[in-house]
Chains A and B, each alone.
Chain A
Amino acid sequence: DAGVIQSPRHEVTEMGQEVTLRCKPISGHNSLFWYRQTMMRGLELLIYFNNNVPIDDSGMPEDRFSAKMPNASFSTLKIQPSEPRDSAVYFCASSFRNSNTGELFFGEGSRLTVL
């Protein structure tokens, strides 16, 4: 398996622009997570899905952020409009819920810079 695939790996945009980050989870996994990593706050859970259904989005910073999972093999995280404080590395992770290990498999991340 190729692992969790994220795109783009790097994104530089200007304040006010829309940003869309994409994720393809590992085939067979039924849970998908979006995390944000910054130096100050470490890894923060933004939202997670079980069986394509959003379960907890309490970590989404504000209404400018939205996430969708239209099917089991694709998810997007959208920021509109983007702001400089959104600059961070965004990770997507997937897992097979009900696993005894609960292991999260992370993608390589999307580094977002908002100027």
Chain B
Amino acid sequence: QQQVKQSPQSLIVQKGGIPIINCAYENTAFDYFPWYQQFPGKGPALLIAIRPDVSEKKEGRFTISFNKSAKQFSLHIMDSQPGDSATYFCAASKSAGANNLFFGTGTRLTVIP
């Protein structure tokens, strides 16, 4: 059973657009929600992470929005660029140091110039 559900599976936007990727979870024990970015032929790399004590976190053009009551969180990419084209994974775990990190199935983002 998928612990973290992610949508959409793929996304195509024009340069400058704001792609939004959504994730949902059921386990209320989850306390740490990172996003990983994966370029073709490479392994995933940590992009940004949030804990449920805040509703939003920004790092550059990347923003995580978190809705604890709905058990949902999303990634927004402002002013998207072709270099943002990658696969994005949301994930969740019971703590930042927990070993069992549950990943979503990934969203393949394509930003058209």
Contact = CB atoms under 8 A, between A and B. Distances in A.
A102 B42 CA distance: 20
Interface stretch (A14-22, A39-47, A61-69, A80-88): A39-47
B11 interface: no
A94 B34 CA distance: 16
B98 to A, nearest CB: 7
Given A100-B97, A102-B96, A109 B106 contact: no
A48 B97 CA distance: 13
Contacts of A109: 41-43
B79 to A, nearest CB: 26
B99 A42 contact: no
B1 to A, nearest CB: 12
A29 interface: no
A93 B97 contact: no
Q: How extensive is the interface on chain A, given as a class? A: 20 to 34
Contacts, number: 62
Contacts of B100: 45, 48, 56
B95 to A, nearest CB: 7
Q: How extensive is the interface on chain B, given as a class? A: 20 to 34
A106 B44 contact: yes
Nearest to A55: B99
B43 A106 contact: yes
A98 B99 contact: no
Contacts of A4: 43
Interface string B84-104: 000001000101111111111
Interface of B: 6, 32, 34, 36, 41-46, 49, 89, 93, 95-106
Closest 3 CB pairs of A and B: A106-B43, A42-B105, A102-B96
